[in-house]
Amino acid sequence: MDAKSLVEAILAFMERGDSGEDGFNELALRIFTYQFERNEPYRKFCLRRNKTPEKVSHWSEIPPVPTQAFKVLDLACEPTSQAQAIFLSSGTTQGEQKRSRHFIFHLRLYETSALRWFEPHLLPERKPMPIAILFPPPDELPNSSLGHMLATIAGKWGEKEEATNLSSGWFIRSGKLLAEGLTNWLKSAEESGQPIMLLGTSFSFVHFLDWCYANSLTFRLPQGSRLMDTGGFKGRSREVSRDELYRLYERVLGVSPEWCINEYGMAELSSQFYDGVVGRPYFASLDRSKRLHKPPHWVRTKALNPETLEEVGEGEEGLLCHYDLANLGSVMAVLTEDLGVKESDGFVLLGRAKGSELRGCSVLVDDLLSTR
């Protein structure tokens, strides 16, 4: 099966905005056949589970691979030397050999996926605006999928007027938060009245908020300014609840919770999830106090029982399992270590599962390692 034709089919599916089940299923089965034929460790894994393209008739039957497998196997459909990018999972203290490796052979897919789902959630106006990024740039973290995503967004939508103080920029460099530079940038935004966008990890913002507190600084950013944070709310230093962090965003930056959107993604996937459109969060129907992350129409998500890996019912807690059509060059079906409650059009993210709850995942990893 031809990768080029599949890339074009996936891109066309993304652009159509087609969330129909038949269209998704047909394309998912084509991708499964391609990955079964080209990805040797995955093929052996599927054969051990008696799952082949001839026996699988629905996307939900495609065997998922746990994220731990990306740490020990090269799950690639092409020679790894031909990868256009290699994204590593976070965990710098563990060493590269302890981190997941995701070989990306079609950056166009990754970048289209990133922009296609970011824009309606963070930039529905589709107009450039000044962007401050609280994350190291790609030249410092070349194997970060988040860094590549942020660079893709800034490259298309960031203001580039070098003559003003509001040209888009990166405010973590050489391992340091450029707090004074960001402070000056935000003051310029206040004075200009021009809405701005802040993008970064949750704890990048925590460190900046701490610095503002220590220096008795607050801002009132222009109306329409928005913020995207990503990653969990537990850092090495302490844990900060989502509600507390959003109160601080409003108190220190002047950005209300409705204009703060959380992004959920990982190195092993090529697509992201958001919990609202700026000005309008998504809330879970089961509990209006909880936000709902929604996938793009080229992704499906299930919640699985951690021990049996059977799908749980709606409103029940389980391990999140994503089927991402943009993951063409590796494996489409990825079982995470994240717990969530599935709702019809998304999920409530609960956080990381405890190791003792991953018995089903352990069986999958054992199966994968047995194929080596």
Mean pLDDT of 228-253: 83
Residue 226 within any structural domain of the chain: yes
144 and 202 together in one domain: yes
Query: Bridge partners of 102?
Result: 87
Whether residue 317 contacts residue 350, with contact meaning beta carbons closer than 8 Å, is answered with yes
Find where tokens 């998504």 sit.
282
DSSP 3-state assignment of 95? Answer: coil
DSSP string for residues in 192-256: HT---EEEEEHHHHHHHHHHHHHTT----PPTT-EEEEES-SB-SS-B--HHHHHHHIIIII---
Give the mean model confidence (pLDDT) for residues 241-265.
95
Share of the chain above pLDDT 90, in %: 79
Determine, yes or no, domain membership for 101.
no
Q: Taking CA 175 as the corner, what is the angle to CA 173 and CA 181, rounded to the nearest 5 degrees?
A: 45
148 and 254 assigned to the same domain:
yes
At residue 58, the pLDDT reads 97
Tens-digit pLDDT profile for residues 133-187 = 999 999 999 999 999 999 999 999 998 765 456 889 999 999 899 999 999 999 9
Residues 162 and 257 in one domain: yes
User: What's the number of domains the chain is made of?
Assistant: 2
**What CA–CA distance (Å, rounded) separates 2 from 184?**
51
β-pairing, 131-134 with 169-170? parallel
- Complete DSSP assignment for 244-311: HHHHHIIIII---GGGEEEEE--TT-S--EESEETTEE-B-SS-TTSB-BB--TTEEEEEE-TTT-PB
Instruction: Please check whether residue 180 is in contact with residue 211, taking contact to mean a CB–CB distance below 8 angstroms.
Output: no
Pull the structure tokens for residue 218. 């607050």
Average pLDDT, the chain: 90
Residue 136 lies in a domain: yes
Q: Are 105 and 87 in contact, with CB atoms under 8 Å apart?
A: no
Q: Report which secondary-structure segment, H or E, holds 368.
A: helix 359-369
Position 287 scores a pLDDT of: 77
Same domain, 80 and 220: no
Q: What is the domain extent for residue 348?
A: 3-22+37-90+292-369
pLDDT of residue 17: 82
Structure-block tokens of residue 221? 């950013």
pLDDT of 306-354, one tens digit each? 989 999 999 999 999 999 999 999 999 999 999 999 998 899 999 888 7
Whole-number pLDDT of residue 284: 87
Domain membership flag for residue 131: yes
Amino acid at 355: G
pLDDT of 48 over the 80 cut:
yes
What is the percent of the chain with per-residue pLDDT over 70, rounded to a whole number? 89
In angstroms, the Cα distances linking 49 to 16, 44, 74, 75 are 34, 9, 20, 17
Please report which confidence band the pLDDT of residue 18 belongs to, taking 50, 70 and 90 as the band edges. confident
Residue with tokens 């196997």: 73
Over range 187-193, report the average pLDDT.
94
More confident residue, 93 or 128: 128
pLDDT over 50 (residue 357): no
Q: Domain containing 266 — which CATH number? A: 3.40.50.980
* pLDDT of residue 110 exceeding 90: yes
pLDDT at 285 over 90: no
Q: Are residues 58 and 179 in the same domain?
A: no
Asked if residue 242 is part of any domain, the answer here is yes
